[in-house]
Structure 1
Amino acid sequence: MFKNHIKIAWRNLRSDPKFSVLNILGLSVGLAITLLLFLFISHERSFDTMYAQKENIQRVLLFTDGDQGEETWTNAPAALAPAIVADIPEVKKASRMYRHNFGGNAFVKAGDEQFIEKDLYWADAELFQIFNVPFLRGNGQKALDKPNAVALSQSRALQYFGTIDIIGKTLNIDNGLELEVTGVYEDLPSNSTLDAAMVGSFKTLNFYKNPSWSNSSFETYIYTVDNTNIDEVVSKIQTTLNKNVVKEDQWYSFGLQPLEEVHLYSGGYLDSYSKRDGDINEVRNLTLLAFLILIIACINYMNLTTARSQKRTKDVGISKTLGASTQSLILRFYTETFLITGIAIALGIVLTIVALPFFNDITSRTIVVAEVLSPTFLFLLLGVWIITTLVAGSYPALHLSKFSPKEIMNPSPARKGAAKLVRKGLVVVQFAASVILIVSVAVMYKQMTFMQTKDLGFNPNQVLAINATVALENKSEDALLNKFKNNPIVQSVSLAQGYPGLGVSGRTLRKNDQDESGTNLQTNHSDAAIVDVLNLKLLAGQPLPRVKQRSDTIVEVLLNKKAVAYLGLSPEEAIGKKINAQLGSNAYIRGVVDDFNFTSLRAPIGAYAFHNRPIGEYKNYLLVRFRESDLSTTLSTFEADFKEIIPGGAFDYSFLDKNTEKLYEAEQRTAQIGLIFSILAIFVACLGLFGLAAFTAEQRDKEIGIRKVLGASVFGITKLLSTDFIKLVGIALIIAFPLAYYVMNNWLQEFAYRISIGWEPFIFTGLCALFVALLTVSLQSIKAALRNPIGALRKE
């Protein structure tokens, strides 16, 4: 029987090619979008599943009070890891991780060649014991046991040496530090939170020799024994903290985060080193988008099939008269749907593979074709096939099969009206879903435009950040600074520890000695020219002094308005006041600048300080504000100046405005994906509308012929056929707008600085939806209106 149903289904497909193309094209596009989104979602949820001991791995979190409540940091003090291993039996291993120069690039010299390395980490030997990373050369368990040791990923080994047989070879870091290669490991997968291309031994650093409880700059992972009560471990960590740090100096507390939550559930956490951060909200939004588009595609199929099935009522009636059961007819309709969705899925897979490189570009992910054809994904695909068949085929199968032969052969007006009402309802649902998508994308782009054009309190345009680490190692930072000052293209130049958008040092600002909690203060070791380079607005006092003697023990500080407000002072009152901010006992406020957004606009402005304390923090960046000119010529000039002072040094730079844009990569990615797929969703919806319009025109063929004979114009007939569909789109807009407003208003709550939604996205979306619908329906309506009425009037 099933074989006969397949034959009938195939015959029906061939008998009406226009219907078949519309149905298969709509379903295949919808399924291709769904498959791409499911690939992304599957990739995001697969993070860190490759580690055999993942259930026993936890990341240490640090909790502290900020201006807007409690903040969560992903870094901990260097002294924590060895202390909890010694004190807590459940913690078998712990490893600290520190990204080179707090996230800065490293200059690596291999033989006579110089490279810029963006992914150099320093870690304890236990890192490769906690994470079972496969080693190709060397012993991963002992690779980082001794100081001045380094392990390289396979790709870096090939890049630096051309081979992986490099045990015992040496690398020079930042023109100073010599490291011996002790291991080569497999490249870390793209779905691993660990993204290190090189890992140096933590024992090499002063942080290892003198671990502190105050400097929280080290991502820390622990490995616990099986069936450990994590709450008890957290309590014991607090006991260890109490033992080592007096209560008044405890500006933080600790928590633990399971490894399986690190990638997707760290949104809003500060100071994460990994560049592979995910966002559970993005995954949820794209999951909703995938189901919306799948529903739109299924409704499209149901609409077209229901409309077309009216032409097959006699066929169904004859089948019932000859003894076909309701179950047999249901199976027949489902078989046809199964065949169509099967063809659509096959075409959808092809479209998915073709679109994968483009999809990887906009998502910044590396999803390979093998994942599309993996057993897990093919099993998921089978599930999508079955669900799509059941959903898309439900109405035509269950609707037509339940009527008696008499009712099918002579359908009552009520039954015709019910079928028509269902089709209209499906059109409304389909367009409502599409409108919600478009409004959401419009609001996202409006918010993105707002963030890109908002006055940040500083000017990131025409500013170049040059990595000056090599200059510090060579003691040639003053020569480099002067060289750039004398360049006529340069307006101003400054040496600084960091810049807005890049993490600097975290300290605690206190009003007085009785202020136990204080507030978080970001501090940036810089010079006097930082105000000019960033175009900061000086509210009171003076910039940092241009010349500072090495014997001078006074620390001058430039605070922002937010920090001064915390102290309960006006900008003018703050000048000359002593400051309690872990900058030494002789730190004084020299000037006050207006507030500026030094982090993402998701967060409110916090307290910030520039200072000239020479101990502990290095000015790793040369910030250069340059005049507008030919960019390639400017960069060539700057590179020549740089290499004149530091021959053989790698010229590593970035633009401040581009760094600022990177803060919103997740939102931009979601908006891009939403825009592209919303357009495709509208395309799928219009395919259904096109088919329904064709069916309606065919049903009313004789009526149109009579109207034309009686003198009706093409415009009048087009208006007659189009009005009903435009009404449906109007109803869809009325339903969709409140839902879209609710969803996007909730999304905007994630931003401290946000737009008011306004009417613009709704007016734009409404006009677009009406225009596209009118255009789609009008094409069929005009075609019907131009048809010769004689042919229609001759029909039986």
Structure 2
Amino acid sequence: MFRNYIKLAWRKIKADKMFSILNILGLSIGLGITLLLFLFILHEESFDTMYSKKDRMARVLVHLTDDESPETWCGSPPAVGSTAKNTIPEIENTVRFYHYAFGQPASISVNDKNLIEPRFFYADESVIDIFDLEFTHGNPKTALARPNTIIISESSANRYFGNDNPIGKQLNLENYKDFEITGVFKDFPNNSTIDCNTIASFQSTNFAKNPTWDNASFETYIVLSKNADLASVEKKISKLVSQEVSDPWYSLSLQPFSKIHLYSSNYQDSYSARIGNIEEVKNLSLLAVLILVIACINYMNLITARSQKRHKDIGINKTLGASTKSIILRFYAETALITLISILFSIILAIVAVPLFNQITGISINYRNLFTLQFIASLIIIWVVTSLIAGSYPALHLSRLAPQVVVKSGFKSKTSGLLIRKGLVIFQFTASIILIIGVLVVYQQINFIKNRDLGFNPDKILAVSIGAAENKNSINSLKNKLQNSSNIVAVSSAQGFPGVDVSGRSIINPLTENGYNIKTNNADSEIIEVLNLKLLAGEKLPETKAKNDSIVDVILNKKAVDFLGISPEEAIGKKVQLSLGNNSYVKGVVDNFNYSSLREGIGAYAFHNNATREFHNYLLVKFRGNDIGGVIEEVKDNFEDFIPNSAFQYSFLDKNLERFYTSEKRMASIGLSFSILAVFIACLGLFGLAAFTAEQRSKEIGIRKVVGASVFKITKLLSLEFLFLVAISLVLAFPLAAWLMNSWLQNFAYRIDLNWIIFIVAGVIAIFIAIATVSFHAIKAALTNPVKSLKTE
């Protein structure tokens, strides 16, 4: 019996090729998009599932206790891990990570080659056991047991040494320390939060010898013993702060390891370059379901548009004794067959589209995941669910019609059926209009961010890594040489720059004794000129400083001065407390500037010249003209002259700032691409309903033509009905889109106001698409010979 249903379904598909192609095309595109989005979602949810102890692991988080500017940091003090392991019995093991120079790229030398290593880490030797590192060379039990030893990934070993065995060879870091290579481990998977290329023994650092409680720059992971309670351990770790720190400015909590990838986007100072966003996953999951529903609705409209031709077939079958159940099964068999064909095509579409999708999203999903057991099971579920949803209306509605009714010559579907189909089209276009508005708003917000006055000018500034410079004289000589170039406006050396994290401290108001979070950046006198900051009072940092001068000159931004409760002019010469020494004085005040993401408000910021604290890691070169290649080449040549034993690495300030909005750009790109396809699928549904309406009203059209109606009037008559459906969709979509996009914009401290022009543009696009879609059938019906439509059987 089932075999006969499949044969009948195949005959029906072949009998009406155009509508079968439209059905398969709509479902294939919808399912193809859904498969791509599911691949992305599964990739994001697969993070960190490869580690054997994952269910017992957690990361230590630091929460700043400042109520005015609360922050959560992924880094924690180095003393937390060692103290917790020794005092809390439920903790089986811990590991501390320290990203070289607090996150700066490292310059390394191997075999007379100078290379830049952006993922250079120090870690406790327990990292090997906790993260299941698989060695290809060396002994994992002793690889990091001694100071000045290092293990490297397979890809790094190949990059440094080619096919040679690197064990026992030396790796020089920044011209000041040699490490013995004692192991080679297989690269961390691309769905691992931990993504180190090189891991040096933590014993090689001063932090191992003297772990402190005041430098929260170390990611700390703990492994609980079996059956230990995470909440109970978290309370014990929190108590350590009050026991060990006399005036605690932070508190501690534990983040389950499984939550790290998707639930850390709002946290600061994460070492990982692979941070996901649970909101993005939720939004794309919703988009996947929405597009699948649109595709199913499209199928319903297209299949019922041809129902007029199916009525007599159903009536005859019922007259001959076919049961309602058998007719329902026939419809479902037809739907299941079309859906199965569509799934096969959608797999091909997904495989072809994966490279483009990876380019848009900036990640690396593998099309081979389509053929895993998990995904095949998901495909079967999608096939069954899609078949049940898409086939529900034609199967349940048409199968219930009485045979004596459907065999009548003038039979037409009930008004309720037409209303349902119109309702489905309204749903499709409402969803499509919301998608169009969403894409327009996201792009407008990104454009607003791109063009907003940040309080400084990031254009045409080259940031060159100088961490490997042998001494200050080398840096000064390089600066002086570049400043004499006609292509260069100004040169400054600094610890960091806007878009790159610097030190976090607390500034104290002497009147209230309250603290406020502040970012501090060790810089030279030219930093204001290079960044084009507006000096409100005082003057820039001094160009030179005597060797024995204990005075620390500080330039505050207006936010910091506002916290102190004084004006910029009053701040000049005032002593300031921000953990830079007892002789820190305000030298100048600059206007506020956005040094971080525009999702966040402007915080307190300070430049200083305390040489005993942080080091200058970057040379900032502000250049003129459009010969960017020439400037880079000039800077590189001079760099190699004055800092010869270091690899040349540079970036642009404006590009560094753009990384804050990777998620939004990814969402905008995915949203634009898939919204276009979703609208196309919706148009197929509208196309089907237009065909259905033209078929239903064929005699009416014939009569109108006989009595003198023009092609234009008939086309207008048919088109206005669909424009009315689009108008209803606009009325429903506008308030929903406004609510959704206002909610999304709340994530930004600086955002656009929703403009009525966006809604008008979306409405015009929807109306244009609707007219273009229905005009084909409207004009075709208007041009049909009335004699044919008025014939009776």
User: Which TM-score band applies after superposition, normalised by the shorter structure?
Assistant: over 0.9
Q: How many angstroms apart in 1 are the aligned matches of 2:63 and 2:223?
A: 21
Q: Which residue of 2 aligns with 1:384?
A: 382
CA distance in 1 between partners of 2:356 and 2:205 (Å): 42
**Which amino acid in the other structure matches residue 192 of structure 1?**
S
After superposition, the C-alpha distances for 1:607-628 in whole angstroms (9 at most, x for unaligned) are 1000000113100100011012
Equivalent pair of 2:60/2:76 in contact (CA under 8 Å): yes
- Report the equivalent of 2:585: 588
SS of 1:522 mapped into structure 2: strand
Q: Distance in 2 between matches of 1:402 and 1:742?
A: 41
User: Deviation per CA, 1:690-734, whole angstroms, max 9, x where unpaired?
Assistant: 222223223333333333333322211111111111111111111
Query: Equivalent residue for 2:462?
Result: 464
Please show how residues 95-114 of structure 1 align to structure 2 within 5 Å.
95-114=95-114
**For residue 612 of structure 1, what is the aligned residue in structure 2?**
609
In the alignment, is residue 318 of structure 1 matched against residue 295 of structure 2? no
- Return the alpha-carbon distance in structure 2 between the equivalents of residues 237 and 312 of structure 1: 71
- For residues 136-151 of structure 1, the aligned pairs below 5 Å read 136-151=136-151
Secondary structure of 2:191's partner? coil
In 2, Cα distance between equivalents of 1:712 and 1:175:
90
Quote how far apart the aligned CAs of 1:401 are.
1.3
What CA distance in whole angstroms lies between the structure 2 residues aligned with 1:305 and 1:521?
64
Q: What do residues 298-329 of structure 1 show as CA deviations (whole Å, max 9, x unaligned)?
A: 00001111121221011111111111111111
Mapping of 1:180-199 within 5 angstroms? 180-199=180-199
**Hey, what does 2:548 align to over in structure 1?**
551
Deviation, 1:229, is 1.6
State yes or no: 1:39 paired with 2:36: no
Cα distance in 2 between the residues matched to 1:71 and 1:638: 38
Which residue pairs with 2:759 in the alignment?
Answer: 762
Matched, 1:203 2:208: no
1:149-193 CA-to-partner distances (Å, cap 9, x unmatched) read: 111111111111113732111111222321111111111111100
Q: CA deviation at 1:573?
A: 0.6
Alpha-carbon distance between aligned partners in 2 of 1:604 and 1:374, rounded to the nearest angstrom: 45
Q: Which moved more, 1:686-695 or 1:610-619?
A: 686-695
For residue 333 of structure 1, what is the aligned residue in structure 2?
A: 331
**How big is each residue's C-alpha offset from its partner over 1:276-301, in whole Å with a ceiling of 9 and x where there is no partner?**
00000000000000011001000000
Q: Distance in 2 between matches of 1:68 and 1:743?
A: 28
8 Å Cα contact 1:65-1:520 kept in structure 2: no
Mapped partners of 1:375, 1:513: distance in 2: 66
- Residue identity in the other structure for 1:178: D
Moved more, 592-601 or 195-204: 195-204
Q: Deviations over 1:360-417 (max 9, x none)?
A: 1111111112111111111111111111001100111111112321233349989521
TM-score, L = length of structure 2: 0.98
Which stretch has the larger CA shift, 528-537 or 758-767?
758-767
Instruction: Check conservation: 1:92, 1:223, Cα contact below 8 A.
Output: yes
Cα separation, 2, equivalents of 1:417 and 1:264: 49
**Cα deviation digits, residues 533-557 of structure 1 (max 9, x gap):** 0010000001111111121100000
Given the alignment of the two structures, is residue 682 of structure 1 paired with residue 679 of structure 2, yes or no?
Answer: yes
The alignment partner of 2:65 has SS state of strand
Give per-residue Cα distances to partners, 1:226-281, cap 9 Å, x unaligned. Answer: 121222212222332233221x2x10010000000000011211111101000000
Given that 1:504 and 1:524 are in contact with CA atoms closer than 8 Å, whether structure 2 keeps it comes out as yes
Q: Compute the displacement of 1:58 (Å).
A: 0.5
Checking the alignment, whether the CA contact within 8 Å between 2:428 and 2:682 is kept in structure 1 is: yes
State how many pairs are aligned: 793
Between the aligned partners of 1:102 and 1:475, the Cα distance in structure 2 is: 23
Pick which of 661-670 and 99-108 moved more.
99-108
Is the contact between residue 556 and residue 611 of structure 1 (CA under 8 Å) also seen in structure 2? yes
> What SS class does the counterpart of residue 97 from structure 1 fall into?
strand
Q: Distance in 1 between matches of 2:164 and 2:591?
A: 53
Query: Structure 2: how far apart are the matches of 1:493 and 1:346?
Result: 59
How far apart in 1 are the matches of 2:291 and 2:178?
56
Q: Partners of 1:717 and 1:66 in 2: how far apart? A: 70
C-alpha distance 251-648 of structure 1, shift in aligned 2 (>3 A): closer
Structure 1 residues 491 and 613: CA distance shift in structure 2, 3 A: same
Name the SS of the counterpart of 1:393 in structure 2.
Answer: helix
The alpha carbon displacement at 1:123 in A equals 0.9
Q: Within 5 Å, give how 1:145-164 maps onto structure 2.
A: 145-163=145-163
C-alpha contact (below 8 Å) 1:26/1:301 kept by paired residues: yes
Deviation at 1:469, TM superposition (A): 1.1
**Which of 406, 409, 413 is the matching residue for 1:408?**
406
Question: Which digits, 9 at most, give the CA deviation of each residue in 1:715-768, with x for residues without a partner?
Answer: 111111111111111111111111111111111111111111121221111110
Task: Give 2:528's aligned residue.
Answer: 531
CA offsets 1:420-453 (integer angstroms, 9 cap, x no match): 1111011001111111111111111111111111
Alignment-mate amino acid for residue 639 of structure 1: K
- Cα offsets for 1:34-73 (capped at 9, x unmatched): 1000110111011100001101110000011346442111
CA contact (8 A) 1:92 1:225 kept: yes
Say which is worse superposed, 412-421 or 168-177, in terms of deviation. 412-421
User: CA–CA distance in 2 between the matches of 1:166 and 1:471?
Assistant: 26
Work out the CA distance in 2 between the residues paired with 1:685 and 1:164: 58
218-227 or 647-656: bigger deviation: 647-656
Check the 8 A contact 1:494/1:527 in 2, yes or no.
yes
> Bigger shift: 440-449 or 12-21?
440-449
Percent of aligned pairs sharing the same letter:
53
In structure 1, give the amino acid aligned to 2:257. L
Do the aligned residues in 1 keep the contact of 2:455 with 2:533 (CA within 8 Å)? yes
How big is each residue's C-alpha offset from its partner over 1:489-518, in whole Å with a ceiling of 9 and x where there is no partner?
111110000001110001111112862x50
Contact between 2:537 and 2:569, CA under 8 Å: does it hold in 1?
yes
Kindly indicate whether the alpha-carbon contact (under 8 Å) linking 2:556 and 2:589 is maintained by their aligned counterparts in 1.
yes
What is the aligned partner in structure 2 of residue 739 from structure 1? 736
1:269 pairs with 2:267: yes
Aligned equivalent of 2:428, options 414, 430, 442: 430
Q: Which amino acid in the other structure matches residue 575 of structure 1?
A: I
Tell me if 1:787 matches 2:784.
yes
Q: Counterparts of 2:164 and 2:767 in 1: how far apart (Å)?
A: 62
Distance in 2 between residues matched to 1:730 and 1:514, nearest whole Å: 60
**SS of structure 1 residue aligned to 2:772:** helix
> For structure 1, which runs of at least 5 residues remain unmatched after alignment?
none
Q: Which residue of 2 aligns with 1:361?
A: 359
CA–CA distance in structure 1, aligned partners of residues 784 and 406 of structure 2: 30
Q: Is the 8 A contact 1:22 1:688 kept in 2?
A: no
Secondary structure of residue in 2 paired with 1:216: coil
- Rounded to whole Å, the distance in 1 between the matches of 2:115 and 2:147 is 22
Length-normalised TM-score, structure 1: 0.97
Larger mean CA deviation between 698-707 and 183-192 belongs to 698-707
Amino acid at match of 1:215: N
- Choose the corresponding residue for 2:510, options 486, 509, 512: 512
3-state secondary structure, aligned to 2:582: coil
Task: Give the 3-state SS of the residue equivalent to 2:175 in structure 1.
Answer: coil
- Residue 476 of structure 1 aligns to a residue whose secondary structure is helix
Q: Deviations over 1:102-132 (max 9, x none)?
A: 2211112220222211111111111122111
Superposed displacement of residue 475, structure 1:
5.1
**Number of the residue aligned with 2:485:** 487
Q: 1:164 to 1:733 in 2, by over 3 A?
A: farther
Q: CA RMSD in A?
A: 1.6
